[in-house]
Amino acid sequence: MAMSKTYSILGAICVGIWIVSNAALGEAKKDDHSEVDMQIREEEKNESGTGETLYNSIVLPEHWPPDYGGWTREPMPVPYLKNPPEVINIDVGRQLFVDDFLIEETTLQRTFHQPTYYEGNPIIKPDREWEHHGPAPFAGPFSGGVWYDSRDSLFKMWYTGGYIKYSCYATSKDGIHWQKTEQDVVPGTNIVIDHGLELPPIPPEFPEKKHIRPIDTTSVWIDYQGDDPLSRYKIFYTTWHIGLPDRLGEDSAVAYRTSTDGVHWSEPIASSGIVGDHTNVHYNPFRDKWVINIRSGRETGRARAYVEGDTPAEAVKLAEVRPHGEIVPWLGADLLDPRNPNPESADILPQLYHFDTVAYESLMLGYFSIWHGPENDVCHVRHIPKRNEVVLGFSRDGFHYDRPDRRPFFEATEADGAWNWGNVQSASGACLVVGDRLYLYFTGRNLPEKGKLWDGFVNTGLAFLRRDGFASMGSIRNAGTLTTKPLKFSGKHLFVNTDCDQGELRVEVLDKDGTIVEPFTTDNCVSLAVNRTSHRVEWKDGTDLSSVAGEPVRFRFHLRLGELYSFWVSLDESGASHGYVGAGGPGYSSFVDTVGSSD
């Protein structure tokens, strides 16, 4: 298993950053803060159960999604961390320690981990003639999509080829080495949609529009929930709003198509009103909702607005910046986001350039591409890409994202000859489970060649992380404990993802009053000294937890010299979590873990 670089995030450092940033950036209006605080208090009062109850026992307010009235530079409020459920249901997915949602008390230390990059990056680069179409080469998911398709036992990637004109298709048997197999849509190429064919004829009175690129970002999803084979594959993309020829290239719309095979696509099924150009789409399986995250934002620059629908077509049709309609202000950069390290751009306030999210186990994993500048006109003069780096966020309700670690997860190096010199962005799907590791896909841009547009030269990279390896709770020297909040489950077998082969892990079960439940004591627990991403916890006098299933209980983990990444209670001995595995992976028939892995 590839080792990850690990760093501990100390609360004092975060507080110090917040104080310095707040002094430098304190531009948010006090009235805005008061309005946000008032709404949070109202949400915390919602104990009547009038809102939707989620898989993890979080109760949403009656009015959803919440509208805080605008964007500020304060870190996003996360109501479920301030006011968690009295008893948390853990039947869905592995339970990760990315926040304190599950923790009652602990003497263990949280560590956030970062991925290791594949040494052979980039795995895809512009090396075909059509990928050099336009003013600069392009070969990477502009969101796009990277999935494991269980039907064909292949990794599949939908990426943008050329500037920015084609949706292209590549496949892989191992997720590392990719083939751009020729398709019959545009003979002799791997192009599956030529978006240039969608642009209307340019009226002669607007000659300056003739060089408009046909699309911006795309989002591709394999729909494992739907029962219509004709729409198993779905693509969403922002194209220019063709109903306004005088504003072609200025106003965008989201279009939606489907496919039976991911290669041959329908004509557009639905389109939105006016949205920002870098708008993309995701699916939230926890609530069975399709979400359009719309590029928007005036108060803080580039940001995201939110609209959801029960079907893709419904969500697309609801998406429109003007009038306000059904959308609400959502995500943005904040006071804790670092600035551009280049002194020439250090005074630029960070903005949220791009956002992707996908369900992973029991939460939504969010990729925040934080823009550090400079603006396009400066990039043109300096002939460099803009600087974006990807920071992670985690959500347990699909709307509020906690971002505890502000170091770049995918970084821009600004090193001579680097494939990821700047403008690093995530891909839709992005997170795939391959054995004991996660495969994580993203794009970066190298410095442009002379005579070519600065905003191109896109490549695709791959990084690896231990499964569930975003954060762990650990004991470095002395033995420590972690006691969960009251939990309930319907499973029988407790599993852990732990690295304690040089130490020891034991577990005991407590009832709601804190009394140890026999026979699930530390003395009876079979000591674990393993490095496994899935290992069953056993007790000498019985390992079946059925006797406490459905009742509020706490787990207390006793750990010495090791790291605990996650735990879950499975219905069977395979360790199947029945959580989500991102964009799938070998061995899974869908994006849900129904198979587990035997010890």
Mean pLDDT of all residues in the chain?
89
Read off the pLDDT of residues 97-130 as tens digits, 9 standing for 90 and up. Answer: 999 999 999 999 999 999 999 999 999 999 999 9
Q: Which residue has the tokens 């795939």?
A: 432
Note the pLDDT of residue 221: 97
Residue 234 lies in a domain: yes
Helix (H) or strand (E) run with residue 312 in it: helix 312-318
Residue 286 lies in a domain: yes
DSSP result, 125-171: ---SGGGG-SSS-BEEEEEEEEEEETTTTEEEEEEEETTTTEEEEEE
What are the phi and psi torsion angles at 16 (to 5°)? -65, -40
DSSP result, 1-16: -PPPEEEE--HHHHHH
Residue 273 lies in a domain: yes
pLDDT, average across residues 489-509: 97
Give the up-direction half-sphere exposure of residue 24: CA atoms within 13 A in the CB hemisphere.
17
Residues 398, 289: contact at Cβ < 8 Å?
yes
Residue 319 lies in a domain: yes
Going by C-alpha positions, the residue among 367, 470, 471 that lies closest to residue 110 is: 471
Residue 75 lies in a domain: no
pLDDT, average across residues 344-354: 95
User: With 90 as the cut, is the pLDDT of residue 177 above it?
Assistant: yes
Going by C-alpha positions, the residue among 359, 360, 369 that lies closest to residue 443 is: 369
Q: Alpha carbon 291 to chain centroid distance?
A: 13
Q: How far apart are the first and last CA of the chain?
A: 17
State how far the alpha carbon of 435 is from the alpha carbons of 6, 153, 427, 520, 584, in Å: 21, 15, 21, 30, 11
Count CB-CB contacts under 10 A for residue 267.
Answer: 8
Residue 229 lies in a domain: yes
Q: How many domains does the chain have?
A: 1
With a CB cutoff of 8 Å and minimum separation 6, the contacts of 30 are: none
Judge if the upstream peptide bond of residue 285 is cis by omega within 30 degrees of 0: no
Going by C-alpha positions, the residue among 426, 409, 416, 410 that lies closest to residue 446 is: 416
Q: How far is residue 154's CA from residue 173's CA, in Å, rounded to a whole number?
A: 5
Read off the pLDDT of residues 271-320 as tens digits, 9 standing for 90 and up. Answer: 998 898 889 999 999 999 999 999 987 677 899 999 999 999 999 999 98
Read off the pLDDT of residues 388-434 as tens digits, 9 standing for 90 and up. Answer: 999 999 999 999 999 999 999 999 999 999 999 999 999 999 899 99
Note the pLDDT of residue 3: 38
DSSP character at residue 205: T
User: With 90 as the cut, is the pLDDT of residue 245 above it?
Assistant: no
Note the pLDDT of residue 322: 58
User: In terms of residue numbers, what domain contains 179?
Assistant: 127-331
Residue 103 lies in a domain: no
Give the up-direction half-sphere exposure of residue 450: CA atoms within 13 A in the CB hemisphere.
0
Residue 141 lies in a domain: yes
Q: What amino acid is encoded at 253 in this protein?
A: A
Give the up-direction half-sphere exposure of residue 523: CA atoms within 13 A in the CB hemisphere.
4
